[in-house]
């Protein structure tokens, strides 16, 4: 569909072709291009045969015969032979034909390409004709498209990246405000994913064995510290044989319907003995700011989730009284998005304490407090994953591990 020039008649065209066929100085290729030539009536002055021949030679020297793989008559990729084009398509089909382990059985396999594709001969620019390997890569990679993904339970950035053939870096680049360590069900993530030109669909019956998970029976033991657990009886997974109707799209499972489930062996439950007794560390920290017998450390001071945790978290029910560690003056009582309702108290000798995620504050800025006085009620406000008190200690302006501080000061 590219114009070469205007001639006085079709006879001139055939005469030019005959000259080219005999004149190797002009054209040493194969001028078998008549199948791709069409004629239209043109206005204006026709070219002289010699000028037309120059145009044609220039055109042909940058072109070659080839075979295009086209979707809806639009060329996706061009190869130098019909055999190479056929082989490229068949290799992609083989690549995406499901294969499983030795214990699996595949029945009634049907594989096809979803697109209506054709392999069409033509004259193409030489630089657009690819080798078979490059053509296969091009068909598989295709173009890029944007896709919104909604996070579901148990998703991680790594698992999402693996599912779509991306890297964590790819996802972070497409979502510059995303914290990869903090994603939650319902979050929407933008993905820029490959959109292949060809989609291979495989429909088949899949017979395979899979584990039946065992469940764990817990024996609560108040004579053991809560940080200690002991397996009384190991669990053993069961086995079952599944017959399923499956469909895969480009090698990824797209549909699965269980037809038959046969139990081969039943699971044996695990029996776990779990301590409930508070640890000495629990008691040391909790007894300094909470009623007797309450509070267990749920998170320690130090690195956590890729950030730094500047205090100790004590798990307690909402509404539990929180005591001032010792005598001092309230220097802040208010709300922040991170710490929720929180109180800061300045004590003597460079000591400052903070109590966060409260449900209710009982003191205001400037109030004098004494040790063990109730200053707030525990809660779950601010950035919090459950009811607890976040307890911080600063000494001479430096954040200090409350556990280390209390071990060195409490007798």
Q: Which residues pair with 220 in a beta bridge?
A: 274
Q: Which residues of 37-65 are buried (b: 16+ CB within 10 A; e: fewer)?
A: eeeeeeeeeebeeeebbeebbebbeebbb
Contact residues for 171 (Cβ-Cβ < 8 A; gap 6+): 157, 160, 161, 178, 180, 189, 191
Q: Is the pLDDT of residue 77 over 80?
A: yes
pLDDT 10s digits, 90-136: 999 999 888 777 778 999 999 999 888 999 988 888 888 999 999 99
Mean pLDDT of the chain: 89
Question: Which residue segments constitute the domains of the chain, with CATH numbers given?
Answer: 10-61 (no CATH), 143-195 (3.10.350.10), 279-409 (2.70.70.10)
Token output for 312? 């100790």
Are residues 358 and 352 in contact, defined by beta-carbon separation less than 8 angstroms? no
pLDDT 10s digits, 33-57: 444 667 777 777 888 888 888 877 7
Are residues 253 and 246 in contact, defined by beta-carbon separation less than 8 angstroms? yes
pLDDT at residue 25 in the model: 47
pLDDT at residue 31 in the model: 46
CA-to-CA dists, residue 64 to 19, 20, 123, angstroms: 19, 16, 5
Confidence band, pLDDT 50/70/90 cuts, at residue 4? confident
Contact residues for 177 (Cβ-Cβ < 8 A; gap 6+): none
pLDDT at residue 1 in the model: 62
């Amino acid at each position: 569909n590219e114009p070469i020039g205007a001639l006085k008649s079709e006879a001139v065209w055939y005469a030019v072709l005959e000259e080219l066929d005999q004149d190797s100085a002009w054209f040493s290729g194969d001028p078998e291009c008549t199948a791709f030539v069409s004629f239209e009536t043109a206005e204006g002055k026709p070219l002289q045969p010699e000028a037309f021949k120059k145009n044609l030679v220039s055109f042909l020297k940058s072109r070659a015969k080839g075979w295009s793989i086209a979707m809806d008559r639009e060329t996706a990729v061009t190869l130098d032979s019909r055999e190479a084009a056929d082989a490229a398509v068949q290799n992609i089909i083989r690549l995406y034909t499901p294969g499983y382990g030795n214990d699996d059985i595949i029945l009634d396999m049907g594989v096809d390409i979803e697109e209506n594709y054709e392999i069409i001969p033509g004259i193409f620019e030489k630089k657009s004709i690819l080798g078979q390997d490059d053509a296969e890569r091009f068909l598989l990679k295709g173009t890029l498209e944007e896709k919104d993904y909604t996070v579901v339970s148990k998703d991680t950035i790594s698992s999402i990246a693996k599912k779509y053939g991306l890297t964590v870096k790819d996802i972070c680049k497409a979502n510059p405000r995303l914290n990869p360590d903090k994603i939650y069900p319902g979050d929407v993530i933008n993905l820029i994913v490959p959109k292949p030109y060809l989609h291979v669909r495989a429909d088949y019956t899949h017979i395979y064995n899979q584990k039946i998970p065992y469940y764990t029976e817990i024996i609560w033991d108040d004579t053991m510290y809560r940080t200690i657990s002991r397996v009384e009886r190991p669990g053993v997974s069961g086995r079952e044989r599944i017959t399923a109707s499956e469909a895969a799209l480009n090698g990824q499972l797209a549909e699965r319907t269980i037809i038959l489930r046969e139990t081969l062996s039943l699971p044996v439950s695990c029996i776990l003995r779990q301590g409930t007794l508070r640890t000495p560390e629990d008691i040391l920290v909790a007894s300094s700011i909470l009623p007797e017998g309450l509070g267990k450390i749920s998170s320690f001071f130090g690195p956590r989730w890729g950030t730094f945790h500047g205090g100790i978290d004590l798990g307690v029910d909402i509404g539990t009284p929180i005591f001032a560690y010792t005598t001092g003056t309230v220097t802040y009582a208010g709300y922040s998005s991170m710490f929720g309702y929180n109180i800061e108290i300045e004590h003597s000798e460079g000591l400052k304490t903070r109590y966060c995620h409260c449900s209710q504050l009982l003191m205001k800025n400037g109030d004098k407090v004494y040790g063990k006085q109730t200053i707030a009620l525990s809660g779950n406000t601010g950035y919090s994953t459950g009811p607890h008190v976040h307890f911080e200690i600063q000494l001479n302006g430096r954040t200090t591990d409350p556990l280390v501080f209390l071990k060195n000061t409490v007798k």
